[in-house]
Structures are given as C-alpha cells and as structure tokens.
Structure 1
Amino acid sequence: MKSSLPLPSQTVRVRILATTDLHMNLRSFDYYSDAPEPTIGLTRTASLIREARAEARAEGAIVLLFDNGDSLQGTPIGDLAADQPDEPHVLMQAFGLLEYDAIGLGNHDFGFDRKVLDRILSQAPCPVVCSNVNRLGDNTTWKKQAVLTRQVEIEGHQESITVGIFSVVPPQTRKWESHRLDQDVWIDDILPCAQEMVSKLMSCGCDVIVALAHTGLGSADAAPNLENAIIPLAAIEGIDAIIAGHTHLTLPGKSHAGLEHVDAASGMVHGTPVVMAGSAGSYLGVIDLKLTSTQEMGWSVAAQCSELRPIAGSKPPPEDPSLVALFSDAHSTTRKRAEEPIGHTDQHLHSYFSFCAKDHGLAIVAAAQASAVRRKLKGTPQEALPLLSAIAPSKFGGRSGPRFYSDIPAGVMRMRHVADLNIFPNELRAVELTGEHIRDWLEMSAGVFNQIKPGAQNELVNPDRAGHNFDVLFGLSYVIDLSIPPRFNASGGIENPESWRVSDIRFDGCAVAAEQRFVVALNNYRASGGGHFPFIDDAEPINVPALPIQRALKDHLSGAQPSESLGQGPCPFSFKPMPGSSALLKTGPKARFHIAEIAEFHPKLAGTDAEGFLHVQLSL
C-alpha cells in the first residue's frame, strides 16, 4: 500500500482505451480482393485513439491503452510479418508508435511456432500479459501480471495511481493449438486464475484492476473450463474494468441484449464496465472511470461508463498518416506476394450461399485436403478405406459483417485467393472413424440451422452458432430435416435425444452403415476438439506429416499434385422439402448477382438490414 493517502475531496478520472481481435488488419485494406476497405484497419482505429486520448488529457485524465489479443494472425500481411525473422514486426512497431501500455494474448496468437511467437513478443514496446498460460522453466515472453503507476496533478501536487493488469485466454486454447504447444505448456481455468490474480494485485495496493479477458459472454453461472466467461468474471469483487473479446461481437450493443446480469445498452455486467470492440479494428473501446478518495479506503471507483466508437459510418475517421507510412513497405510487399498466379478457375467462387447450396470454393479445399491425404495413405492399412473430406466455410458473414465473404471471379487464381478460401493457418489431419461417428458429426454440423416452423418468420442460420462449425463432408450425400430441432447444443451435449435431423447418408450411392469405416481429411482445429464435436474422443488419428492446408490448396490449384475428383459432384447436403415453409438467409449484398444459383429455392430478395446484410427469402 502507498505510504500516504490522498485528501478526502480528491477526484481523478481514468480513461481506458482498448482494441481487440485485430487479426493483423493493419491497413484499411482487404488483401483478399486487393481493394480498399474503409470498415476495417488499425490505421483508422489509430485516429480514434488519438482523438480519445486528446479529449481525456485536455480534462486532466489519466489515459491507458490496451490490446486484448488475437492481434498477430489473420491476414496475408500477418503471414509476411511472421515469416521475416530479420525484420522488426510491424505490429509491435505500431503498438510502440501508438503508446500502448500493455497487451494481452488471444488463442490465435498461439497458432505460431513457439520460437516465432517468442521472437515477435520480444519486440513488444510494453508489458505482454497472459496470466493463465504457463510454461515450464523461465518464461520471459509474457508476464502473469503488470502493475502500472501513473502520476496525476491534483491541486498543485502529484499523486500516484497504480493500475493492475491481468489477462486470460480460453483454456480450450491448449487443445485448439496442440500442434504448436509442447507438453510443457498448460492453461489454467479462467475464473480461478482471475480470483488469484485479483487477490495478488490487491495485495500490491493497486487502485484500479483491469482484466484483459480474451473471452466472450456466455454462461451466467460460474463453471469449470468456460470458453466464454465474461459474465461470472465480472462478478469477481475487485475487478474495476474488463476488456472482452474472442467472439468478435460488440458491447455495449444489442448483440448481448437479454443476457442475465448484462445491461447491453450501457455495457455493464454485474455492475462492472465491459467493452468488446468487435474485430479487425472496427471499433475502439472506451471505459471512463471516476476515482474518489477517502482517508480510510484510498482510491475507489465512484462512477464508470463504457462506449464503443466505430470507424464505419457516414464520416469514417481518416487513416493515421504515421501508421500508413510505417506499414508502407510491408503493405506493398504483401500485395505483390498476393498477386502471384498459381492456377485457374472456370467458375466464380463465392461463399454467399454456403449454408444452402454448393460452395464451389469449399469443394476445391475439400479436394485439396483429400488429394494430400490420399498420397499419405499409400501403403498403409487405411489405403483401401473410403475417403471423405470435411471443410467448413471460413468467410461466411456472421459476426464479421456483410463484407466477410469469399468472392473470387472466374479466371486466374492468385495467392490471395488461396488465403481467401482458407484464411486460418490450419494444418492437415486425418482420422479413421465409423458411420455412427459420421452421423453424429453431421448432426452437430446441422446444429447451425434454426428449427423451421411452418407459417413463422424463420431465419435459416442460428446467429448463436458459429458458421465455422458448419462442416460439409464431401464424398457423401445426406438430407437435413429443418423441421426437427437440433440434436446437439453448441457445447456438444445432447439437447434433444429424440432428434435426428440428418438422414439418407450415402457414400457412392449406398447407404452408410453404422459400423462402416472411413478416413476423413480435416484440419487440426477440428481434429483437436475445436467446436466440441462429439466424435473426436473416439476417432482414431492417422499419422500424416504436418502440412499447412493453404500449401495443400496451392499444390492442388497449381497442378503440382494429382487432382482428386472428390468435390466435383452436386452439393453433399440437401434439405428435406417443407412445402409452404420458408426461411430467411442473411448474406452479403453481392449475392444478388448470383441469385440464379439457388433457383431451386425460388428466392425472393427482401432488402438489406441496418448492418448491410442482404435478406433472401427461401422457399423450402
């Protein structure tokens, strides 16, 4: 504790600024389409940062700037920065230029080789904090906590304010990134870790405690191993402000309306101010705290408020010139690399209708996976087994907004198109399993759809289920009955035991038997338990050499490897007819140019909503 206490009448304002889930969206630019994109980019967020900082300092407030993780991976410029060991990392330089006070880590930040991550974070201009990820031996890459001391002038004399910082990531990160994390890395549960860190920071005499929590809003109740733990986290006494993230949603905002203990309009959770600033630099989170003092208790929070400041709107902020200059070389090099031609497509590849019709881009990725696995199976006991390939859309709108779809015109395929079709740095895996497991897999995947009720206004896709968990199993054909409620919930538990949405599962025209065995090509995220699919614990891993899926896709498109016919037929899934029923598909506005592709649903364009999504009414 400090040796002297401030006078009873003293008041101090603290402004906390926050970014989260940047995913290396540094410029206001879409590298997949090679075009400017004004709704994203740290260069525009930086202008909001400078404005918000100047406002607060003009009023004598202390200003702190934090990043909440998942900053290092997600765009081609991020891949370039990670591949240049002899060059300063551009994001670390940007964090220095913008005077960040501390940065937390997110699950995707562990998607690098550990040496690469250590090298990048060693360049951080401020403390890197990650409280619940542990490493054996001396860990100098990140700290468990940080204590910042800031001076403020009150009535002609200086007072010290100490701010304690801790940071947490989902414990599931250990599974999701198991191919990158050695056995000497383990991750503690969020809530017990937070309790411990708050206790330690309070014992250090911190006046304010801030949680950099790379986790979203989920269960209202405390439970072990929560992935999205913000609500019970906010109930922990001693936390004064929380920076949330991971789910790419926003708070304050309507996306969390109706949740228990959450005032979505104000951003208060259990009375604690929380901000979640979307993704890709689309928002700046702002929390203002008013601290007052008493002789007995020292500083305490007397008032607080949260807000989000968007970069999109009628008058978006300009790109910050200093950051544009900083990123200039990397930006130009990335664009040059992204333009490398690697193949050709006769079809326009897009993901506007991934949830109702064949996605030809997905089919290409599925074929690339199958082709790579086929080569690895030669001479093994599994060579004679039927081969399937599982792939989910990676750009499907949803929380990332109406611009977030693949849209690749027919013609030359370039490296940026490879990244567009599979944006995550996943590696190829293969498993052996039974027809019974396949059925469970498809049932879990079909949980992305809402139950369709005749005569009701039905939205096709449940916005609370992640689109990247809609696995399509190429090599099969199957029917989904949308009149039936989903069998599994989002956590992989059986919610409706009598529900079986998926039927008529066939391979090569023959019904799949429960005991029939298959090899399935898939990515490491799914193979390691990502998405809570129920078959994982029983699947038998097949040892295939590590291969980035983007590399397999490049080889497939360039003709460097033999082509695989899997994926060339019709869409693997279809919906059981529901005469008189319809469903609303929310998709990107450019889908209107391809509407003839879903003529079987007699589509009707129903305008665009406030977010910019095109509404298409489908007859089932």
Structure 2
Amino acid sequence: MAQHVNITRRTFLSQTITGTALIALHPFSARAGTNQAHLRIMETTDLHVHVFPYDYYADRPSDAVGLARTAAHINNVRAQAHNSILVDNGDLLQGNPMGDYIAYERGMKDGDLHPIIAAMNTIGFDVSTLGNHEFNYGLDFLLKSLNGANFPIVSANVVKEMGRTPLADTTLIKPYVILDREITDGTGQKHPIKIGLIGFVPPQIMTWDRRHLEGNVQVRDIVDTARAYIPEMKEKGADLIIALNHSGISAAKHTEGMENASVPLAELDGIDALVTGHSHLVFPSPAFDGMAGVDAKNGLIHGKPTTMGGFWGSHLGLIDLMIERDGTEWRVVTSTVETRPISERNDEGALVPLVESDTAVVASVAKAHDETLAYVRRAVGKTATPLHSYFALVADDPSVQIVSNAQLWYLNDMLKGTIHDGLPLLSAAAPFKAGGRAGPDYFTDVAPGKVAIKNVADLYLYPNTIRAVRINGAQLKGWLERSAGIFLQVKVGGQDRPLINPDFPSYNFDIIDGVTYKIDVSQPPRFAPKGELMNATATRIIDLAYQGTPVTDNMEFIVATNNYRAGGGGSFPGADGSTIIFEGPDTNRDIIVRYIVEQGTVDPKADNNWTFAPLENTTVLFDTGPNAIKHLNELTSIQVEPAGEGPNGFARFRISL
C-alpha cells in the first residue's frame, strides 16, 4: 500500500490576481531521486459549458465559475512540475445557455467546433470522459461535438453492441487509452511510462435520456466493467491506471448498477488513482467524514488518491504522486491530494477571485459568448409578477407556478380526444435555483416587465422534455411524501430549529399543482434524501384534496412532469417509467417560452395550494439569498421575519409555523 503524505500548509501558492506567481517546490519534487519521479494529475469535472466567468442567467460576470479561471491554476501547476497530466471528468456539453444555444439554435454540423471543446483544446487537455449530461442532446450531437477534440475521450460502459463480457463489447467510443509518455526523474533522467486512463458514466443515463438512448446503446455496471478491463490494460503495458469516474462518492458496498460507485471502484486492484465528479462536490472535504473506506482529510478511498474538483470550473482537483521505477515497472510510493478554488468568500461573505482568466481561453470562445448573450437577451413576452425563487422551498412560489401553468396549458391540449381526456390533470414542478451548495446568488430573480430567453432558462435550467404519467391517489400521496423529505423534523414548541435538510437537492422538491395539501414537519419523513424508504407509515402530507374532495387511494390522475422524473429520476412513487402515458417532443423550457409568447403578459401569482400544517409556538430558521428581503411583503401563506445573517453570505429568516 502506498503511503500518503499529509501537507499541513499550502505547498504551492496559486497565481494571484495581479498575475504574478510565487513558486515553491512540492516535497516530492525536492525528494525525488534516481528512478523516482513526481507526477501531477490535474482534474476538472462538471464544467457544464462554463468557460467564461459569466452567469448567463443573471446576465452578469461571475467570479465563481469558468474554465478560463481554472486554466490559471493549470498553467501554474504545469510551470511548477516536470511531469503533469490534465484530465476532465465529464458533463461538458450541457448546463448553461451557451450549451443550449449551440444545441438548439446554432447546431453542430460536421466539422463544427463546440466552444467547450475549443477551450479545452486551447488549454491542452490530455484525456476526457463522458458525463451523463453529454447525452441530453442526442447521440448525433454528442459525436459531432467530440469529433473536434484534440485529445482522446474515453468511456468503457456505454455500449453499442453488447457481447458476452465487457471485453467483447462494441463501445460507443473507445473504452480506455494508454498514453506513451516520457517522465523525468529526480536526477533529470527521462524514462518511458505508459499511463492508462479509463472512463465511466452512471448507468442511469438509460433512464434519464431514454428517448435518445433506448435502442441505440446499452450501459454496463461501472465496477463490473472496470474489473474486466483493468487486466487487459495491464497486459497492454499500462504502468499506472487512472479511473475517470463520472460518479460520486457514496456507499462502500457495490450494488449492481449503482449511480455513485467511486468507493467500490477504488477497491479494485490495479487502479492507482481516481478522479470523481457528478455530485458537484469537492474532495477531499470534511463533507465526507465518517464514510466507510474514505479518508476525507487526505483524499484517499481505500488508500487510493482521489479528487473531485467541484463544478462549473470552481476548483482544480490535484493529485500529486511520488512514483518509483522498479526494474521496468512504475509503482506509486506516496501521494498528496488537494483542490484549488478559483474564488473564496471573505469574512463579509463577498466572493473574492483568486485567479484571473486565461486570455487565450477567453479568446477561443469569444464569438460563441457574444452569440449566446444575444440569444439569451431575446424578449419573448412580459410578466406582471416578480418571478423569484427566494422562498420557493417554504411557500408556494411564482417561479414554480409559471412552470406548472405552462405544463398544464400544453398537456391539456395534447390530451384532448385521448383515452386520458377528462381525468384530473395535475402538474409537478420543482425550484431548480434555490441556493444550497451553489451559494447565496443562485436564485431566480426576474423583475416585472419583459421576459427574455435568459429568464426562461433561469426558471427551468435543464433541457428536459415533457412527459405525463397516470397515477392513483396512493402514488400521488407517496410522490408528495417523497418531496416533503426536504424538511428536517421539527419538535412542536421548538424554537429556531433549521428547517431544510442540506443533503436534499431542491430539484427533487416537487410541488404538485391542481391539488391542495398541507405538510406536517413535526412528523418524520417517509423517505431518505435519495429516495430510500425509511418509514412506510410516516405521514407528513395531510388534507390532500382535489377540488375540495379528499383524495382517496384509488382515484386516478394525470401528472405533467419531465422525462427525468417520469423515467425514475429521484425515485418517486408513481414515476418509474411504467406509468408514462405521453412523451412529447418539446422541452419543458420551450413550452414555457411558447406559453409566454401566446399569453403576451403572464401573471403567475402563487395560488398557495400547499402550506405547512400549523404548529403551536414553533419557529424554524431558513437561509436564502440576501435579496429575499425585498419580497417579504409578497408572502401570504406563512409568517416570515428577518433573523440576521446566515453562513457563507446567505440571509437568515425566521418562520412561525
């Protein structure tokens, strides 16, 4: 087992915002002797088309995002090392309006260069893998986009023709690559080295993008696929094997088809280092303390150095290896792991940049950036109501209401004359931008007046397509119980307890419009944050009614939703792919645009169809964006008052239940 050196101070000083750099040798560079070498593995992950330090939804610069900023760290690491390799861990092509502009407006013809690929070519990536969002725009778009890369892109478990074993598969793209490189040892001597890199994507893409993938590809389990390929990579001469795993860090026990498989993957013999992603977190980090097999302080999983470089270019993941040549083979002696942020918050909560943008990277996408700005600034209608998400997790909300209104408008027309016509039609929608890990500026905030495409993209972040499911009353209640898991349990009579579970993503907090209900947060949740059943008898949803009539288990409903949810995303009762009765060709976002265009002026005031069940003498605390204070007077279903500053730039509010 390789040793791990814990560096208690920052060994390298990143490029400052003035452009100068102070360089100190990493201990491995200083200690490496004959037949020993210091190898640096740099990782980006979950870039989601963020090249410019710019928030297209807010239409303003942002110091929190951008591969152009991450490139400054990359330049520094390269300048400080004889031996380095730069990899990306997937989710490149989708995730902000530039991605949508390229996919839906400009298109990708043969020979076109996607802007994120142009930026990566400029930086000089060595290898990348696929993320789950690469498939959102279809296989033709994906493959045309990848064709422009000056670096290999690998993925071992997405299969065009499945054989008896993974080694007999015909994969969509090459499963792995072995790079022939020269490495310089501590005495300046050069030696040959073969570095193997293999990529993986969550098997759940077959659910999330079924319309693009079903009948075209299949997906194998991550760990089983790796177990098959690693011996072959060794036989072909790989001295080191690095897993590019677009998958998070979760349970230690391997289960077939698991989404976040980094821990059991790291347990396999033959893998020397891992880069991870998908969950938009940072590793090493205290967030992973106490997890089986994980050393969250030193960045090790089952003793293997591992990193996760945040998302949208927020961090550069960095693994430093001391490797030693033993005869004709190389082995890892020891390692260190860190991440380097592009910005940080000061004591006042303000975001401070730590690096400047690389001008060459900015120049490589300047034209696409300007075209994206024109695209997102195009007006499509007006709103008479402020559309914001500051209180979307605690009260019925206009930014979610307009999504439901548009989905109901669309499905009501589409289902006319079908066997489902006449059944109660409901709509499920969730707040996508609601702070959380993305910070206190990550909220929708559209003032009354003109509504542009950028505002619609802000209301609905993902290029999901419309779906409808047919469910019964019991499934409807279960769906809402799953959503209500976002709230921590509150003691009646308790004061100022936190309300929101930080491990529950806001995009899984579905509000179902068309019924009325209350949520009793004094009761335990029925489901865990990831959808696992915890307590089958727990009941938070009370007074559930349709047009004033209590909902019974055998009543039937049509629910408008999206392909992710209807196909099983989030593990919601009644939404596992088997209940789908309508699959539309239109994205939910395009439906919102068309709805606004037809209406001319929209006025989606929240109808308060859901509220909290009253709890006597009970208060809770809720953190949201500082600009929420301007919208307090709009709340009619709950009592809210300011409660001071929250952590990391958030504002804190007190809610009387």
* Structure 1 and Structure 2 fold alike (TM over 0.5): yes
Which residue in 2 is equivalent to 1:110? 135
Match status 1:618 vs 2:655:
yes
**Which whole-Å deviations, capped at 9, do the CAs of 1:174-194 have from their partners, x for residues lacking one?**
111101113231111111112
Task: Find 2:452's aligned residue among 414, 434, 438.
Answer: 414
Pair 561,390 (structure 1): closer, same or farther in 2 beyond 3 Å: farther
Alignment of 1:49-64 (within 5 A): 49-56=74-81, 60=82, 62-64=83-85
> What is the letter of the counterpart of residue 612 of structure 2?
F
The CA deviation at 1:156 is: 5.9
Pair 513,209 (structure 1): closer, same or farther in 2 beyond 3 Å: same
Contact kept, 8 Å, 2:396 with 2:611, in 1: the verdict is no
Matched residue SS, 2:621: strand
Distance, in Å, in 1 between the alignment partners of 2:634 and 2:430 is 20
Distance, in Å, in 2 between the alignment partners of 1:198 and 1:561 is 58
Match status 1:585 vs 2:622:
yes
Match status 1:166 vs 2:201:
no
Distance, in Å, in 1 between the alignment partners of 2:292 and 2:171 is 39
Contact kept, 8 Å, 1:371 with 1:562, in 2: the verdict is no
Distance, in Å, in 2 between the alignment partners of 1:293 and 1:561 is 70
User: How many pairs are equivalent?
Assistant: 606
> What is the letter of the counterpart of residue 210 of structure 1?
I
Distance, in Å, in 2 between the alignment partners of 1:538 and 1:63 is 45
> What is the letter of the counterpart of residue 75 of structure 2?
R
Which residue in 1 is equivalent to 2:87? 66
Distance, in Å, in 2 between the alignment partners of 1:429 and 1:228 is 26
Which residue in 2 is equivalent to 1:379? 417
Which residue in 1 is equivalent to 2:157? 132
Distance, in Å, in 2 between the alignment partners of 1:327 and 1:119 is 18
Which residue in 2 is equivalent to 1:228? 260
Distance, in Å, in 2 between the alignment partners of 1:561 and 1:238 is 61
Task: Find 2:98's aligned residue among 66, 69, 77.
Answer: 77
Contact kept, 8 Å, 1:67 with 1:100, in 2: the verdict is yes
Distance, in Å, in 2 between the alignment partners of 1:601 and 1:488 is 27
Which residue in 2 is equivalent to 1:280? 312
Distance, in Å, in 2 between the alignment partners of 1:538 and 1:97 is 42
Identity among equivalent pairs (%): 36
The CA deviation at 1:615 is: 2.4
Which residue in 1 is equivalent to 2:9? none
Which residue in 1 is equivalent to 2:393? 355
Distance, in Å, in 2 between the alignment partners of 1:14 and 1:133 is 30
Matched residue SS, 2:497: coil
Which residue in 2 is equivalent to 1:316? 354
**Which whole-Å deviations, capped at 9, do the CAs of 1:55-91 have from their partners, x for residues lacking one?**
11xxx3x110011001110111112223332432111
Pair 26,271 (structure 1): closer, same or farther in 2 beyond 3 Å: same
Contact kept, 8 Å, 2:566 with 2:577, in 1: the verdict is no
Contact kept, 8 Å, 2:566 with 2:576, in 1: the verdict is no
Alignment of 1:286-297 (within 5 A): 286-295=318-327
Distance, in Å, in 1 between the alignment partners of 2:443 and 2:559 is 26
Matched residue SS, 1:543: strand
Q: Which moved more, 1:576-585 or 1:132-141?
A: 132-141
Which residue in 2 is equivalent to 1:4? none
> What is the letter of the counterpart of residue 340 of structure 1?
R
Contact kept, 8 Å, 2:469 with 2:575, in 1: the verdict is no
Matched residue SS, 1:337: helix
Match status 1:270 vs 2:295:
no
Distance, in Å, in 2 between the alignment partners of 1:493 and 1:225 is 16
The CA deviation at 1:51 is: 1.1
Which residue in 2 is equivalent to 1:516? 555
Task: Find 2:248's aligned residue among 195, 216, 220.
Answer: 216
Distance, in Å, in 2 between the alignment partners of 1:361 and 1:140 is 42
Pair 315,429 (structure 1): closer, same or farther in 2 beyond 3 Å: closer
The CA deviation at 1:578 is: 1.7
Q: Compute the RMSD of aligned alpha carbons.
A: 2.1
Contact kept, 8 Å, 1:8 with 1:294, in 2: the verdict is no
Which residue in 2 is equivalent to 1:119? 144
The CA deviation at 1:42 is: 0.9
Match status 1:441 vs 2:479:
yes
Distance, in Å, in 2 between the alignment partners of 1:572 and 1:460 is 20
Which residue in 1 is equivalent to 2:7? none
Alignment of 1:197-596 (within 5 A): 197-295=229-327, 298-313=329-344, 314-454=352-492, 455=494, 458-537=497-576, 540-559=579-598, 570-596=607-633
Contact kept, 8 Å, 1:373 with 1:544, in 2: the verdict is no
Q: Which moved more, 1:363-372 or 1:402-411?
A: 402-411
Distance, in Å, in 2 between the alignment partners of 1:246 and 1:315 is 24
Contact kept, 8 Å, 1:72 with 1:109, in 2: the verdict is yes
Unmatched runs of 5 consecutive residues or more in structure 2: 1-31, 163-168, 345-351
Q: Which moved more, 1:129-138 or 1:176-185?
A: 129-138
Contact kept, 8 Å, 2:384 with 2:601, in 1: the verdict is no
> What is the letter of the counterpart of residue 310 of structure 1?
P
Matched residue SS, 1:51: helix
The CA deviation at 1:141 is: 5.7
Matched residue SS, 2:630: helix
Contact kept, 8 Å, 1:390 with 1:471, in 2: the verdict is yes
Which residue in 2 is equivalent to 1:19? 44
The CA deviation at 1:139 is: 6.3
Matched residue SS, 2:85: strand
Contact kept, 8 Å, 1:18 with 1:284, in 2: the verdict is yes
Pair 225,539 (structure 1): closer, same or farther in 2 beyond 3 Å: closer
Q: Which moved more, 1:304-313 or 1:451-460?
A: 451-460
> What is the letter of the counterpart of residue 143 of structure 1?
K
The CA deviation at 1:8 is: 9.8
Matched residue SS, 1:162: strand
Unmatched runs of 5 consecutive residues or more in structure 1: 1-6
